[in-house]
Structure 1
Amino acid sequence: MVKSYIKKARQPEVIRTIQKDLQYTTELNQDVLEVTQFLAKNNRNIIKLNEFIKVFVNVAYHGFAAINRLQTLGEEYTGVIQIDTKTDNLPKKFIQVIAIIFEFGGEGFLIKVLNEYEKKVNDSEDLLPEARRTIITIISILKSSIPYIKAIHRGIFYLNNSGQLQISKGLTGIHYVLTRFWLNNHHNTGGYKFLGIVTLLQVVFSLLLKLKEKHEEKKLRKIERETRESTQSRLQLQLPNEDTKKCILCLEGRINLTSTSCGHLYCWNCICDWLKYKSECPICREHLTQSSVIFLQNYY
């Protein structure tokens, strides 16, 4: 192909191509689904196969065009063809097929692999708790980052017209060029640049909100952990062993058992003498007055 005749398809042509192909594949998917429902006896199986049918229809539609060196209906409608970025010639068939598989099955396959690996990590008894938590965190980050990566790629496409709205084509080095290059009228694409800026800003704000949520969750978990540890410490102080049967003020067995409003136990004389100098519980430092202590009878 003569390079001087090559005119890269702009954002409007690329988007119209993808939208037109999506329209045809959606109709085709609906037809296949209706036929499958008619032939199948169990509708529950159809629900499970729905995603598979969608992937199959898209791969078959685009794969047929790639293998036979044909334009898709969307490409024909818009007047574009796929070109290898390095050679400026038609891409090799197997490269096109790989791009198609990546585009329509790559994300689902990746998520499935990550989910299976996450399940294995959770079920593994050989991993240390710290290692398990680290791996699960990494998997969670990978899964949650997929929409952000797609949005960033889309924003860059709107900004500089990379010719590769689909990540799969960017990975395989395929882009669109115009077949009717003389109709390239250089309309203003400033609106797409603005859309690209808005898209990237939206990603930034979403990431900031996500980080804020994670920070707040971390703080909440820390507070919960500290509260739990504090509660356990108090419970340990109140366990009925030999040490807890002693008054912590005189370090001897409690005489004339007395309880404070916060639930701690002392000798009557010990706590009364203490409160003459300090109006607080010796253990938990809660405000305490002599009128709020209770002399216990028949307590064992």
Structure 2
Amino acid sequence: MARPAAQPAEVLRAWQKDDLYEKQLAESLSKLMPAQHAHKAAPLSSVLYRSFTTLKDLQTLGEEYSGIIQVDESYNKLPTFCARLMSILLSAFGETFTRQLIRNAEKSVERNGSLQPAAQNAFLVVLKAVNTMVPQIQSINRALCYIRGGPIQVGKTMTGIDYVHIRPAAAASYAHLRLLGFITLLHAFISCAQSVYQAKKYMDQLSEIPNEVDSSKSCVACLEEILQPCVLPCGHIFCFQCCYGALETCALCRSTFTKNTVVPLMNYYPGN
């Protein structure tokens, strides 16, 4: 017979306790690690903490405190080892892995010479918008946990892990937690809508930029007057500061170039 599902407040208390212990462990690890690797202490502490508890078929300290235990979708069996391992890795490295995938996709689009400049700009803007919305995935999952129950970590949700009681739960009203869930959900949707709006606004600005600047007196990259024109291997012209500064790909056709391939144009004045 399946045990009753854990209440949202119990799952939240367990997560808060575990998060506190993981932060304490991360603080201790960061003191032992070189300064350049200190940022890796947080995910490493999460993996270590869960490896000595969840992977060993044991409750975490937070789960023991709240009287809940992890189960699979049947609510009657412990999750498989693979499901528990995958949930740990997704919780510790899921956001970093997702951002790396988005960055790789951006580089692939920039290097794709078969795409039109307008299509490249559209893909890059959409990818940047998706990148800004990545943190909202966790917020939406947490809001749903407050409203209808379930695990707070996205990794557990993706691997089908849930919680049940192992001891009688105290009777309580969770209306305030559901209200917090709806507020959190609304905030996450508003943040996503803002990201989409900013992406659309930027795309509209790009559509107003001409494809060719040979007959213009303005640099498309910085929108300032071209005082020292330089030409890139693709044939597009920009100012000296942009070509030898932060610009790494052509702002019009997205083709890559190196600084030694930039050719300054002497006695050439755009627009004349």
Q: TM-score w.r.t. structure 1 length?
A: 0.64
Equivalent position to 1:70, from 58, 66, 73? 58
RMSD: 2.7
Counterpart CA distance in 1 for 2:199 and 2:90 is 31
- For the pair 1:189 / 2:177, whether they are aligned, the reply is no
Equivalent position to 2:161, from 151, 174, 178? 174
Compared CA separation, residues 158 and 223, structure 1 to 2 (3 A): same
Compared CA separation, residues 222 and 106, structure 1 to 2 (3 A): closer
Residue 107 of structure 1: how far off its partner (Å): 1.0
| Superposition map of 1:86-125 within 5 A | 86=74, 88-125=76-113
Counterpart CA distance in 1 for 2:206 and 2:117 is 17
Specify the alignment match of 1:26 in structure 2.
23
Residue 70 of structure 1: how far off its partner (Å): 1.0
Counterpart CA distance in 1 for 2:4 and 2:75 is 14
Counterpart CA distance in 1 for 2:206 and 2:116 is 20
Alpha-carbon contact 2:9-2:146 (below 8 Å) kept = no
Query: SS at 1:177's partner residue?
Result: strand
| Superposition map of 1:15-54 within 5 A | 15-37=12-34, 46-47=35-36, 49-54=37-42
Specify the alignment match of 2:185 in structure 1.
200
Alpha-carbon contact 2:102-2:127 (below 8 Å) kept = yes
Residue 206 of structure 1: how far off its partner (Å): 2.9
Specify the alignment match of 1:239 in structure 2.
none
Compared CA separation, residues 125 and 210, structure 1 to 2 (3 A): closer
- For the pair 1:10 / 2:22, whether they are aligned, the reply is no
Q: TM-score w.r.t. structure 2 length?
A: 0.70
Considering only CA atoms, is the larger Rg found in Structure 1 or Structure 2? 1
Counterpart CA distance in 1 for 2:205 and 2:121 is 18
Query: SS at 1:149's partner residue?
Result: helix
Share of identical aligned residues, percent? 26
Question: Comparing 118-127 with 192-201, which one deviates more in the overlay?
Answer: 118-127
Q: What are the superposed Cα offsets for residues 230-272 of structure 1, whole Å, 9 maximum, x if unpaired?
A: 978xxxxxxxxxxxxxxxxxxxxxxxxxxxxxxxxxxxxxxxx
Residue 204 of structure 1: how far off its partner (Å): 3.3
Residue 14 of structure 1: how far off its partner (Å): 0.7
Residue 189 of structure 1: how far off its partner (Å): 0.4
Counterpart CA distance in 1 for 2:126 and 2:201 is 19
Equivalent position to 1:85, from 67, 73, 76? 73
Residue 223 of structure 1: how far off its partner (Å): 5.3
Q: What are the superposed Cα offsets for residues 108-161 of structure 1, whole Å, 9 maximum, x if unpaired?
A: 112122213322432444544344334323422331221232222222221112
Compared CA separation, residues 95 and 197, structure 1 to 2 (3 A): same
Counterpart CA distance in 2 for 1:73 and 1:172 is 21
Compared CA separation, residues 87 and 104, structure 1 to 2 (3 A): same
